[in-house]
Structure 1
Amino acid sequence: MAQSLQSFHTFSLKSQCSQLIEITDSAQLQQLTFDAPFCILGEGSNTVFLNDYQGTVIKMATAGVQVIERQDDYLLEVAAGENWHKLVAYTLKHGIPGLENLALIPGTVGAAPVQNIGAYGVELAKFIAYVEYFDISSKQLVRLTAEQCEFGYRDSIFKHALKNKAVITSVGLALPKLWQPELSYGPLQQLEHVTPIAVFEHVIKTRNSKLPDPYVLANAGSFFKNPIIENRLLRDLLAAHPQLPHYHYDNEHHKVAAGWLIEQAGLKGHRIAGIEVHQQQALVLVNHGDSSGEDLVAMIKYIQQQIWQRYQIKLQHEVRLMNSVHECHIGLGEAI
């Protein structure tokens, strides 16, 4: 029976799926056939359904957090359906710091490794002990080490070799007892009294000042990846745009701020139907309603074209876009 998806993804486009199954116990996965097409969903904060999905949406809603104290760290074993921000708050409440820079990132724990979530100089990969997943083919549980997850910037093996082959069931996080704050990103450099709670609260304050609450104004958070560009291009851009925020990535590349590029291109407030580039944070697209997937695709392409023409940088969307049968990618001049 058809099920509306509008309330299951925070961008809130009108769409529906053929069937929705909620998983509250990983054992339920054994009973599923995984006939194509299917889509694994957490809280829908990084997924947008562009139109009606002709398949089954499998929503992970498992719960449970176990903490194991070891000699040098704490091992957290966390069910995939747990809310990420609530986990961060839980660790600090129990005197286990480390995740505070990742506060207020929306979504579930199970979705976090897929994207290798990151913020304010910290990536999740730093703390991964293992990721456990249900192998759809063998119907067995498999554990991967952090190295086996092949983490990159907003990237992992779950977007490539294991795409549509795995359902993440739990995540193991190792948080060192010796806490070392990460204060390299702008807003955190202002902190005078540095404690895990102070960093946590400042990250929340900063994010709230920039990012609209998706449950008040529909959005999917940061919509585009911060581009990684060659040092040669960065030198040329800095000559013309000295204020361009940039961060070292490796010896040949720097990461630049996508939000700054979009804002400097004069796109804040640009609107197509009910889709708008957010007035306070250009990295966010918001949905005021009465919008379609076609409107969103048109907005993505327009922004990409403007940034290419102005900076010769190809913007890639961070948000997962689902069409009627599978995930799709919107690039300059084409949709794959």
Structure 2
Amino acid sequence: MGRSLNVAIVGATGMVGRELLRVLEQRRFPIAGLRLLASARSAGSLMRFDGREYTVEETTPESFAGADLVFISVSSQVSRELVPIAARAGAVVIDDSKAWRLEPDVPLVVPEVNGETLSGHRGIVATPNCEVAPLVLCLWPLHRRNPVRRVIVDTYQSVSGTGWAAVEELKEQTRAALEGREYPPQVYPHPIAFNVIPHVEPFGEDGYTREEAAIVHETRKIMGEPELAISATCVRVPVLVGHSLAVHVEFERPFDPHEARELLSQAPGVKVVDDPAAALYPTPLQAAGDDLCLVGRIRRDSSCERGLALWIACDNLRKGAAVNLVQIAEELLARNLI
């Protein structure tokens, strides 16, 4: 894979940060030195990596001195402050927030789809929204054979996409409901236990949420199709880990489901799970812990002559975030861009 790097992780104690450490160790990423960074509140805590114990440090502008590669998984506001500092210090920065994804000079990358765009990076690379990664992994091999003209996607997003507090809220609300107790919502606007909430991120004036708009714009950017027609509805569901997507795709020409299934079975990063008669189809529980995007229920869209319908499930913390971050870093190394 090339030389070993001095690596810093900002947001190391968060859900994605912890998963990122696991992925780096599992994939044997070449690390010469490692700094784990977080807020002042988390500074001093201990974390293990590759058999060693590391002390988490408070993130400061000086934290990036000597770093070759910086992973950042924090809020967009904090990312806006820290990413330029890390890049000016000489590091290549791979950011997990929405802050940089749509900047024209920042590559937004899913390596299996558009890894070649890394060649134009200027020190900052973005990874997409955790629903966009599995969506484009499944659209891309089909689009190359038969151009996509329209996409309608409904997402069913687990609470781990919100963070630790949301996971605990789901657990506690579930216990409370089963015991006949009240547990008022604090993270979400409504109880999440035994419920679904069609409200992921704030609403805009057009009635779509910020998450739904992100799916539209990020998918267009990654696929290099700025005029692609996409509509999204995002729903939070009482699942701990794993996002699912119901996708209806209209193509330029009719698409045989058997051909689509064959193309997807050969696509990198994708696993076809599609035998409904045997109750085999993707579920978020099945996807949890898997680095691949699972796709099934591949069938003709009965409402559209040129359409297909798909059902996708993906671990939002792994391929939806941490695995894609590490794959970007691996691609940078493979292309001698770091």
Identify whether the pair has TM-score above 0.5, normalized to the shorter chain: no
Between structures 1 and 2, the one with greater strand share? 1
1 or 2, which has the higher helix percentage?
Answer: 2
